[in-house]
Structure 1
Amino acid sequence: MVKDVSQIEFQPSELSFGGGALSGAYDPIADHWPVEACREALSSGINTFDTSPYYGKSEYILGEALHKLKEEFPRSTYYLETKVGRYGYTPKDFDYSTQRTLESVAESMRRLRTDYIDVVLCHDVEFVDFDQVVGENGALQGLFQLKAEGKIKYVGCSGYPLPVLLKIAQHQHEKGQPLDVILSYSHYNLQNTSLSDYAPLFREAGVRYILNASPLNMALFREAGPPEWHPAHAELRQAARQCAQVAKENGLNISTLASMFAFNGRSTFQLDSTVIGLERKEEVQQAISAWKTTKAREEGSEQIPPVETNVLDQINTLLKPHKNYSWQSPSPKELGLV
């Protein structure tokens, strides 16, 4: 039986599990990692899992892992969030039609081995014309239809350029059909904090939940450095490498520092959840540890060590020339121009 999703109140954990990492786009995935990572996440209080058809085999892998854990953690104990509209790298791989949207959600349910999905987002809205998102026979029409039918609970949009997301949110608010969720990525991290400025505008447009994805800025802030395809320009990549080195020289980890910075968004601008890409049990443990440290500092039970303050000052200096820089999306490569 399909659950009555109208009775589901979305209460995402402050830290959400980003399933994009399960695509293999960042690192090869060992077979036993997903179940172990999901079990550790659920045991630690993470209750929200984000994925997309665009993320390779992520929906299949996540669905299988959670199915294996169903005796320990029934479907009612967590939220699933997936996306529609983007099925490949370039704009020609997008389909925002109502019909494809309905089909896509049905396909995602099968892959995720569930009979309902809590949150469905239009994926990377900046790649298509505005009317394909909000217009007649567009993606949002399909999602709100599914919401009315009780097959999904919450409707939203994801993307990179904040002005595009805000335009859609404001349009929907004026239409009397506001978005429930906005998922922004790479706009609240050590290098770019623009989401904090936009958050009040999203709230004014009736958006109930604001999620911040990619606190490591799509792996820019990790000791191994970003993947080759990362859209940051050479100067920003170099600055990020220097940040990682400064942290390491002082006995700190750049990914942990970046995560803790992003978790502060909850108190800074009432962020609902931070979505961080996770592949392995150990990464879940590291993320949870960083989150707990952040909470302890907010509550005053733990002080920030002077060495960390000093390192963050150096990082801010290194990143200052690139503060709030946003790369072009779609990129020239995605548009087929290079």
Structure 2
Amino acid sequence: MNPFNNKTGRVVLGGAGWSRQIVTDPTSKPVLETILHALSLGIRAFDTSPYYDPSEILLGAAFSDPALTTLYPRSGLLLMTKCGRITSNKFDYSPPAIRASVLRSLDRFSTNYLDVVFTHDVEFVSREEAFGAIKTLFEMKEEGLIRHVGISGYPPAVLADIAVEVKEKFGRAVDVVQTYCHMNIQNTSLKESLGRFYGDGGVGVVLNASPLCMGLLRRGGAPIGELGDFHPAPRGLREKAAEAAEWVENQGIGSSMASLSLRFAVGEFARVDEKGFGVTILGGGSIGEIDENVETVKKILKREGGDGDGDLRGYTKLDEERYKADEALFKGVRDILGEWVDYTWDSPDAAFLEEQKKLKE
């Protein structure tokens, strides 16, 4: 099942911008005002996680506020969250913990159902643990507490394996898959797994998160929040990304690396993902960032009717002419990235695996 339609559009606002991984003191941000502004632009789908502390708490308070609920009925919103990941190195996929996490999220959002709940970073746990958590989410879907069941994580190939195995084991498919950093100007390897997701996996829609590779593909590089530099990209990739950003600015086209990278991610995914039409999760923890990202999306997508008026939900078709106009710039950036094109880091990495091994000894 695909929860996205003409009421929700093809863009999601991600909640990591209100996490301590990304920013310092996210509680000081005007979250309600920012969410109301996003809604005024036509964004209707929102994604967060308890792991993005305190994002789920802040978003839950915003979506429970009468200033929002009186203007935007719950039925017109798509609220997504995750479960299973506690900290950077702690996971609890046990059925009781999964159920408790979902119930807590429902309470935080003051809602009696969530549109999508994902198992968070499912590649970090055993298949047995993953299946136990997914089974619990299927049960909560039957109870009406969840509309759609999803899995999320970094490596598309691993997520595709899990999706196929879920369908074989349970006789039903996960509805939504969310992966990140695999459909952007540096890495497009998500497209290699789309056939398995939509074919043997029976997945309804695949979401592409981190179109800027967790902030790496922009001037200034990856953001550093209260928890320090969490980005797993090696020095060589960071240096080439910075070089590419400087090259884009020196082209005298009035564009930035961030804008170009977002146009590529949204445009390329729309081009290759015909079934789900490339639903992209945008960043944006402030009104200014959301405005910039929405305007960028409108430059690479166009409305069904062909005009440029209206809110973001109407922008569902790839603007082929604009995509072609950007191709030389896309190629220039990827040429600079060179050997780092389609590079992926290990998830989980060796340090995590070694730590888990010691805990079991």
Q: Normalising by structure 1, what TM-score?
A: 0.90
On the 8 A contact 1:246/1:311 being kept in 2, the answer is no
Task: Tell me, in whole angstroms, the C-alpha distance in 2 between the residues paired with 1:37 and 1:190.
Answer: 28
Task: Tell me, in whole angstroms, the C-alpha distance in 1 between the residues paired with 2:70 and 2:238.
Answer: 44
How far the C-alpha of 1:75 sits from its partner, in A, is 1.6
- How do 1:6-155 residues align onto structure 2 when only pairs under 5 Å count? 9-11=3-5, 12-28=8-24, 29=26, 31-68=28-65, 69-90=68-89, 93-134=90-131, 138-155=132-149
On the 8 A contact 2:13/2:281 being kept in 1, the answer is yes
Amino acid of the structure 2 residue aligned with 1:16? V
Which of 259, 263, 284 is 1:260 aligned to?
A: 263
Residues 1:285 and 2:291 are matched in the alignment: yes
Query: 2:237: which partner in 1?
Result: 236
How far the C-alpha of 1:312 sits from its partner, in A, is 2.5
Residue by residue, what CA displacement relative to the aligned partner does 1:9-44 show, whole Å, maximum 9, x if unpaired?
543421100001111322233635322221121111
CA RMSD, aligned part only? 2.0
SS of structure 2 residue aligned to 1:87: strand
Task: Tell me, in whole angstroms, the C-alpha distance in 1 between the residues paired with 2:272 and 2:324.
Answer: 21
Task: Tell me, in whole angstroms, the C-alpha distance in 2 between the residues paired with 1:109 and 1:304.
Answer: 40
Task: Tell me, in whole angstroms, the C-alpha distance in 1 between the residues paired with 2:354 and 2:255.
Answer: 40
Task: Tell me, in whole angstroms, the C-alpha distance in 2 between the residues paired with 1:79 and 1:248.
Answer: 36
Query: 1:3: which partner in 2?
Result: none
Residue by residue, what CA displacement relative to the aligned partner does 1:176-222 show, whole Å, maximum 9, x if unpaired?
12110100100000111011111111001100011000000011112
Q: Which moved more, 1:9-18 or 1:211-220?
A: 9-18
Gapped runs of 5+ residues in structure 2?
224-228, 303-316, 356-361
Query: 1:248: which partner in 2?
Result: 249
Amino acid of the structure 2 residue aligned with 1:290? T
How far the C-alpha of 1:56 sits from its partner, in A, is 0.6
Amino acid of the structure 2 residue aligned with 1:321? E
How far the C-alpha of 1:282 sits from its partner, in A, is 1.0
Task: Tell me, in whole angstroms, the C-alpha distance in 2 between the residues paired with 1:59 and 1:170.
Answer: 30
On the 8 A contact 1:186/1:216 being kept in 2, the answer is yes
Residues 1:186 and 2:186 are matched in the alignment: no
How far the C-alpha of 1:335 sits from its partner, in A, is 4.1
Amino acid of the structure 2 residue aligned with 1:256? S
Task: Tell me, in whole angstroms, the C-alpha distance in 1 between the residues paired with 2:53 and 2:142.
Answer: 29
Task: Tell me, in whole angstroms, the C-alpha distance in 1 between the residues paired with 2:160 and 2:329.
Answer: 34
Query: 2:167: which partner in 1?
Result: 173
Amino acid of the structure 1 residue aligned with 2:105? S
Query: 1:218: which partner in 2?
Result: 214
Query: 1:269: which partner in 2?
Result: 273
Identity of aligned residues (%): 36
Task: Tell me, in whole angstroms, the C-alpha distance in 2 between the residues paired with 1:316 and 1:32.
Answer: 35
Q: Normalising by structure 2, what TM-score?
A: 0.85
Q: When the two structures are aligned, how many residues end up with a matched partner?
A: 324
Gapped runs of 5+ residues in structure 1?
1-5
SS of structure 2 residue aligned to 1:262: helix
Task: Tell me, in whole angstroms, the C-alpha distance in 2 between the residues paired with 1:74 and 1:63.
Answer: 15
Residue by residue, what CA displacement relative to the aligned partner does 1:118-174 show, whole Å, maximum 9, x if unpaired?
10011001110111111xxx1011100000111101001000112221111111222
How far the C-alpha of 1:293 sits from its partner, in A, is 0.5
On the 8 A contact 2:156/2:179 being kept in 1, the answer is yes
On the 8 A contact 1:125/1:164 being kept in 2, the answer is no
Q: Measured at CA, do residues 61 and 192 of structure 1 come closer, stay the same or move farther in structure 2, by a change above 3 Å? A: same
Task: Tell me, in whole angstroms, the C-alpha distance in 1 between the residues paired with 2:105 and 2:323.
Answer: 43
SS of structure 2 residue aligned to 1:317: helix
Q: Which moved more, 1:111-120 or 1:184-193?
A: 111-120
How far the C-alpha of 1:332 sits from its partner, in A, is 3.3
Q: Measured at CA, do residues 9 and 323 of structure 1 come closer, stay the same or move farther in structure 2, by a change above 3 Å? A: closer
Q: Which moved more, 1:59-68 or 1:265-274?
A: 265-274
On the 8 A contact 2:264/2:330 being kept in 1, the answer is no
Amino acid of the structure 2 residue aligned with 1:200? G
Task: Tell me, in whole angstroms, the C-alpha distance in 2 between the residues paired with 1:291 and 1:184.
Answer: 19
Amino acid of the structure 2 residue aligned with 1:97? S
Task: Tell me, in whole angstroms, the C-alpha distance in 2 between the residues paired with 1:298 and 1:304.
Answer: 8
